[in-house]
């Protein structure tokens, strides 16, 4: 079956702009996760949804970052007033009931 998909695969933006990154989880998966991976590092947790609600957003670095999952399926990660330090690969994962997390291909964000 289809895996986790993320769009766009690459996003280049200018400092100060707003960006939205989209994640389509595996069908039927109730939990959805966002991670960020900087060069030479492992993925770092940002936020986790169970259904429509954010169950844990402790990894969001500041209030410029926000994520939604209005219908309990697709999720959008929103970054306001982007900074060069936001450049990274943003990964989405989904799971069924807290079991193994399956990752998407990621969105590479470059802030110029």
Partner 1 sequence: AQSVSQHNHHVILSEAASLELGCNYSYGGTVNLFWYVQYPGQHLQLLLKYFSGDPLVKGIKGFEAEFIKSKFSFNLRKPSVQWSDTAEYFCAVINFGNEKLTFGTGTRLTIIP
Residue 41 lies near partner 1 (rule: CB under 8 A): yes
Instruction: Report which of 109, 104, 106 is spatially closest to residue 94, judged by C-alpha positions.
Output: 104
Cβ-based nearer residue to partner 1, 66 or 102: 102
Residue 25 lies near partner 1 (rule: CB under 8 A): no
Residue 96 lies near partner 1 (rule: CB under 8 A): no
Residue 100 lies near partner 1 (rule: CB under 8 A): yes
Q: What are phi and psi of 95, to 5 degrees?
A: -150, 165
Please identify which residue in 15, 55, 61, 85 interacts with partner 1, judged by CB under 8 A: 55
């Amino acid at each position: 079956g289809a895996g986790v998909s993320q769009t766009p695969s690459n996003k280049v933006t200018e400092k100060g702009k707003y960006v939205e990154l989209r994640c389509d989880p595996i069908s039927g998966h109730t939990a959805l996760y966002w991670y960020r991976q900087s060069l030479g590092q492992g993925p770092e947790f940002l936020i986790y949804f169970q259904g429509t609600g954010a169950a844990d957003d402790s990894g969001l670095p500041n209030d410029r970052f926000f994520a939604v999952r209005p219908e309990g399926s697709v999720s959008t990660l929103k970054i306001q007033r982007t900074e060069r330090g936001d450049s990274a690969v943003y990964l989405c994962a989904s799971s069924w009931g807290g079991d193994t997390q399956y990752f998407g291909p990621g969105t590479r964000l470059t802030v110029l």
